[in-house]
């Protein structure tokens, strides 16, 4: 009975104070850049200036980790397009994860999260790294206690959500709000689309390789965010040490299948692939140009594993020349957005 009463009081105190008529926040509207779709924002977590500010503070604060040493920003570094230049990120106990940190650029246009799609919203995604033993290795009760003991956080949560008791749900909401503002739309490619710059012949050839079946990059990376919100086995391995999407769905055909990452700011987000096996863009291009490795679940889009576009016996892969590979890389570098990398709004 006593426990129930305490639980009831906790629930009441953590809920927004509906009777506080003076509570006001400053709405923040994301205006989709030209050529971008509308960003879908959950109705129960509309963006506010106060929420974003709080989310940014939490994103950069190691208070979420068990020994106060690792923050979200430890593995999602702005100059690396909010990914990690290390193959695997290091956690609070010196342990390493087993996947490369996903870039957060334009993450608000994603509809599933993590390489295996294990989170269905940005809000859900926040929960996992906090408790993962090789990441922050904390528990949410401890996180809530630490935050509730901090008067500045109590004020900020009150201002953002009108709550007197900080809980995990509102921590996740705040961080998700900040992450939705991480928008890159001022690359050379964007300027080309808007008619502000002309591409060189090399860039144009690279674009045509990318957006035709010569390179066939576009089937997975074709939209304005250079990802298809979908999952593929891109012919990296014959056997899988990491089962990817299968871990979530249990479907045999999802073994070795991973979420398509964005190529925006690909120049800054090395290493590449779910396990960070490739250090350079050249290595990535060479992988696709080779045709890749056969496996039972390989995507049919990887169609030149055993053949080539010209029907030449004994040859496999796209058969791009060195000049074509160079041009493709030149095009990929037009996706770099220095303004995003240096944007002070994304800094603590």
Partner 1 sequence: MRKIFLLIFSFLFFNSCDTEDVLKIDIHFRQFVDQNELELNNLIYTNEADNIFSVERLSYVISDLILYFQNGDSMELNNYYFINLSDESSLKLNNIDIPSPCISVSFTYGFSQVNNTSNLYLNDGDNFHNLMLWPNSLGGGYHYMKLEGRYLDNYGEQQFYNTHTGALNSNDYSVNYFFDIDSSETNENIFIDMNINNIYNDPIYDYNYYGSAIMSSGEAQSVIQVNMLDDVFSISYN
Nearer to partner 1 among residue 129 and residue 292 (C-beta): 292
Quick one: which H or E segment has residue 10? helix 2-14
Binding mask 251-290 vs partner 1 (x if CB under 8 A, - otherwise)? Answer: --x-------------------------------------
Among residues 307, 319, 326, 333, the one that binds partner 1 under rule CB under 8 A? 307
Cα–Cα dist 262/249, whole Å: 22
Shortest Cβ 298–partner 1 spacing (Å):
8
Three-state secondary-structure class, residue 83:
strand
| Angle (CA) 84 112 136, round 5° | 45
Separation of first and last alpha carbons in the chain: 45
Question: What is the Cα 266 distance to its own chain's centre?
Answer: 12
38 binds partner 1 per the rule CB under 8 A? yes
CB atoms within 10 A of CB 10: 12
Binding mask 213-252 vs partner 1 (x if CB under 8 A, - otherwise)? Answer: x--x-x---xx---xxxx----------------------
Answer for the pair 335, 266: CB distance below 8 angstroms, yes or no.
Answer: yes
Nearer to partner 1 among residue 85 and residue 222 (C-beta): 222
| Angle (CA) 236 102 325, round 5° | 50
Shortest Cβ 266–partner 1 spacing (Å):
18
Shortest Cβ 179–partner 1 spacing (Å):
20
Q: Which of 272, 273, 270, 314 is nearest to 291 (CA)?
A: 314
Cα–Cα dist 284/146, whole Å: 43
Binding mask 102-121 vs partner 1 (x if CB under 8 A, - otherwise)? Answer: ---------x----------
Which residues have CB under 8 Å from 135's CB, separation 6+? 65, 70, 75, 89, 91, 92, 97, 129
212 binds partner 1 per the rule CB under 8 A? yes
Three-state secondary-structure class, residue 9:
helix
Span from 15-23, 31-39, 77-85, 182-190 in contact with partner 1 (CB under 8 A): 31-39
Shortest Cβ 35–partner 1 spacing (Å):
7
Shortest Cβ 311–partner 1 spacing (Å):
7
300 binds partner 1 per the rule CB under 8 A? yes
Nearer to partner 1 among residue 215 and residue 271 (C-beta): 215
Binding site for partner 1 (CB under 8 A): 35, 37-38, 111, 207-208, 211-213, 216, 218, 222-223, 227-230, 253, 294, 300-307, 309, 311
């Amino acid at each position: 009975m006593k426990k129930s009463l305490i639980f009831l009081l906790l629930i009441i105190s953590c809920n927004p104070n509906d009777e506080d008529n003076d509570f006001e926040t400053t709405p923040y509207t994301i205006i989709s850049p030209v050529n971008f779709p509308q960003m879908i924002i959950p109705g129960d977590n509309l963006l506010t200036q106060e929420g974003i500010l709080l989310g940014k503070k939490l994103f950069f604060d190691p208070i979420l980790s068990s020994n106060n040493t690792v923050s979200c920003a430890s593995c999602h570094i702005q100059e690396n397009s909010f990914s990690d230049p290390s193959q695997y990120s290091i956690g609070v106990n010196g342990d390493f994860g087993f996947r490369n940190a996903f870039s957060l650029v334009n993450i608000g246009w994603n509809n599933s999260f993590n390489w295996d799609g294990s989170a269905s919203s940005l809000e859900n995604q926040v929960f996992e790294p906090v408790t993962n033993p090789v990441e922050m290795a904390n528990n949410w009760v401890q996180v809530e206690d630490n935050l509730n003991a901090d008067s500045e956080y109590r004020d900020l949560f009150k201002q953002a959500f009108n709550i007197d008791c900080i809980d995990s749900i509102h921590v996740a909401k705040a961080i998700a709000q900040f992450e939705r503002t991480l928008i890159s739309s001022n690359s050379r490619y964007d300027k080309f689309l808007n008619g502000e710059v002309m591409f060189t012949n090399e860039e144009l050839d690279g674009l045509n390789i990318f957006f035709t079946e010569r390179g066939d990059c576009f089937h997975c990376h074709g939209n304005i965010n250079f990802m298809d919100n979908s999952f593929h086995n891109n012919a990296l391995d014959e056997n899988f040490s990491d089962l990817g999407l299968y871990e979530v769905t249990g479907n045999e055909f999802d073994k070795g299948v991973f979420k398509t990452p964005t190529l925006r700011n690909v120049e800054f987000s090395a290493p590449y692939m779910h396990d960070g096996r490739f250090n350079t863009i050249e290595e990535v291009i060479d992988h696709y140009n080779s045709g890749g490795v056969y496996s039972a679940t390989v995507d049919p889009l990887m169609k030149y594993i055993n053949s080539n576009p010209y029907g030449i016996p004994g040859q496999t892969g796209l058969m791009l020349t060195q000049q074509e590979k160079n041009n493709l890389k030149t095009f990929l570098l037009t996706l770099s957005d220095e303004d995003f990398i240096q944007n002070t709004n994304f800094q603590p």
